[in-house]
Chains A and B, each alone.
Chain A
């Protein structure tokens, strides 16, 4: 019997280039970047110099942002990664709105190369933007936004570089795991840590809590389909997260429970009664 599992991850604009074709809103992408930037502490200086209109989008919801991004595939690297597993083989699709995927592949290395190539193409578009009509403040804002994008490009490139030794096997066979942080930012995004062995890199995705749960179930199902025991690819953080999950407690109760269990331990040396060493944790 064929077993098919499909899920998708909604990805935010990891790369986003200004679209010169939109003459009335040359900062459309910068608005989005500003929105993300206000929720991170990476480059606070980058908010300076942006047009007032840019900051007015801060209160819009994350769903709105994703919807906007979906409408313009030429400005967005990708908005959605769909992953399907059929009888143990995995395929990946990059979507950015529309009826057809931007790219479909069964190879993770091909997927990553496509992402990289598309990112480079978008960067090239951005570098050819005519900035002659911009005010100095707008220019500063644009430069700041470009810096942020470059930081993101470098970050993803690092992740790709770390997980790129000619991988043709699916993500999970390589032991790459994704760790979602529990802290959801105001813009709806989560920080995600990709790990391969002891190496790791970080990026951010926008994913709803429901989608996140689906994703986690999907990953577990794929591992099962691939005949790979889940425990072999779990990091110690995965194990901790599973322990947190099995309690079934809400966050507040869980934290109290964990504080009680792991908040204090003592290591006692008793070679000489007077030389007691207490080593409280935390």
Chain B
């Protein structure tokens, strides 16, 4: 977490549907919560179109993008040690986290996760309680990143695309890149001399 990160060391995993087909399937199966708040045109505007646009950039830069991830896939990716940073974009509601194959209880996820020398970036709406339970249930040497507000998928997809593009062209740690992109979004004085 304190070393220079290359885009190929980053995995971006999507627990929410990122395609029209995924949306329609999730709506039909009714096993996850995130899609319930959207009609398809809105979902396309806020999720699938930004995904299409940014996933192309992130893949081009060397990051690994995986859609419709299951709990098992998240756990094995974090445990594999292959990635220095695992970004998990999903939704959590009423103690359940959305995955590609349905929702899972956060305690099951936390107990299965072994975050060793990895940054787990939780891009999930207001996961404060989730994080505190992760810390209680899965103490480890990893680093968890989260924020306290509801995450807008479209903006965060662009955010990670910018982080990855920045890491591709500069030798930075993940935290440096994260702060740099945050600062630029907020039009604050850049934190890093690029």
Please list the residues of chain A having a beta carbon within 8 angstroms of any beta carbon in chain B: 182, 197-198, 229, 231-232, 234-237, 239-240, 242-244, 246-247, 255, 257-273, 276, 279, 281-282
Distance of A281 Cα from B148 Cα, bound (Å): 12
Inter-chain contact B144/A267, CB cutoff 8 Å: yes
Q: Which residues from chain B contact A242 at a C-beta distance below 8 Å?
A: 158
Distance of A78 Cα from B194 Cα, bound (Å): 31
29 A-B interface contacts by CB (under 8 A): A198-B169, A198-B194, A234-B165, A236-B165, A236-B181, A236-B184, A239-B165, A240-B158, A240-B181, A240-B185, A243-B159, A244-B185, A246-B50, A247-B154, A247-B155, A257-B155, A258-B155, A258-B186, A261-B156, A262-B186, A267-B119, A267-B143, A269-B141, A269-B143, A270-B135, A270-B140, A273-B135, A281-B178, A282-B182
Distance of A240 Cα from B57 Cα, bound (Å): 13
In B157-194, which residues have CB < 8 Å from any A CB?
158-159, 161-163, 165-166, 169-170, 175, 178-179, 181-188, 194
Distance of A246 Cα from B141 Cα, bound (Å): 38
Q: Which residues from chain B contact A197 at a C-beta distance below 8 Å?
A: 169
**Within 8 Å of chain A (Cβ to Cβ): is B56?**
yes
Given A267-B144, A271-B139, the answer on whether A262 and B182 have CB atoms closer than 8 Å is yes
Distance of A231 Cα from B159 Cα, bound (Å): 14
Q: Which residues from chain A contact B147 at a C-beta distance below 8 Å?
A: 261-262, 264-266
Inter-chain contact B186/A267, CB cutoff 8 Å: no
| Residue in A closest to B50 when the chains form the complex, CB atoms | A246
**Within 8 Å of chain A (Cβ to Cβ): is B76?**
no
**Within 8 Å of chain A (Cβ to Cβ): is B105?**
no
**Within 8 Å of chain A (Cβ to Cβ): is B149?**
yes
Q: Which residues from chain B contact A237 at a C-beta distance below 8 Å?
A: 162, 184
**Within 8 Å of chain A (Cβ to Cβ): is B80?**
no
Max chain B CB contacts within 10 Å: which of A265, A271, A279? A265
Inter-chain contact A243/B57, CB cutoff 8 Å: no
Distance of A232 Cα from B194 Cα, bound (Å): 19
Given A198-B169, A198-B194, A265-B145, the answer on whether A281 and B57 have CB atoms closer than 8 Å is no
